[in-house]
Amino acid sequence: MTVSTPTAATANVDQAEIDKFSALASRWWDPTSEFKPLHAINPLRLDWILSHTGPLQGKQVLDVGCGGGILSESLAQAGGEVTGIDLAERSLKIARLHSLESGVPVQYETVSAEDMAERHPGRFDVVTCMEMLEHVPDPGSIIRACSRLVKPGGWVFFSTLNRNPKSFLFAIVGAEYVLRLIPKGTHSYEGFIKPSELIQTARHCGLEAEELKGLEYNPITDHYRLSGDTSVNYLVATRRQD
């Protein structure tokens, strides 16, 4: 993975990906919808984030690629002062409506991670970027933006899909075609990222990996759990060096 020059930053979006998520936007908060897996993994990833950050009260939190706000709202519920950013307008509309209904305050903005980093360098205590890197043309540019956005000593959390024959079989063939957990075409194998690539790019941007964790799905019990198996889904906790 390479890290592009800042001039390429504003173009770091695949419009077809944004359209894909926009088309599903009304279903973000339906726990039986295409977004069921995100609802199912949310408590797991939230607990894991909190295990690193400690209480979020009074902390500035940024959720990059927030979609309908599943993670953003839970971070706000945990006490964070949360901003969610995404480039899919329709998803943010749903996110804003849901926040009004639930009474869980989140500030949503249609802005790229790179532009946000230009405007607010070093503003956030915690940055999350989950299930998003595999959807952008230049994930390195997002990682660098996240690093610029967080304060020295602050946390940045990533999650994405590993790239190997097993992840192709499980995340695409299994999840999209056999079990139909998510719509066909949700993921493309070329966008998958090996943990070593993510960790190296993060380090290059001043983010040191503190923990790498696997996220496993058991199709028999329909349950997810965090584990040491990073071969398909995984999460990385990183910390901004001073």
Looking only at residues 67 through 86 of this chain, which bind ligand SAH when binding is defined by CB under 6 A?
67, 70-71, 86
Member of 38, 62, 198, 215 binding ligand SAH (CB under 6 A): 38
- Residues in binding contact with ligand SAH, number by CB under 6 A: 21
CB closer to ligand SAH out of 18 and 209: 18
- The token pair at 20 is 């894909």
Examine residue 17 and tell whether it contacts ligand SAH (CB under 6 A): yes
- The token pair at 233 is 């889904």
Examine residue 61 and tell whether it contacts ligand SAH (CB under 6 A): no
Member of 46, 61, 66, 202 binding ligand SAH (CB under 6 A): 66
Cα atoms in the Cβ-side hemisphere of radius 13 Å centred on 117: 19
Cα separation of 67 and 217, whole Å?
Answer: 22
Examine residue 126 and tell whether it contacts ligand SAH (CB under 6 A): no
Examine residue 192 and tell whether it contacts ligand SAH (CB under 6 A): no
Examine residue 132 and tell whether it contacts ligand SAH (CB under 6 A): yes
Which listed range, 15-23, 98-106, 115-123, 206-214, lies at the site for ligand SAH (CB under 6 A)?
15-23
Member of 24, 49, 65, 205 binding ligand SAH (CB under 6 A): 65
Going by their DSSP bridges, the two strands 60-64 and 81-86 should be labelled as parallel
Member of 1, 3, 4, 13 binding ligand SAH (CB under 6 A): 13
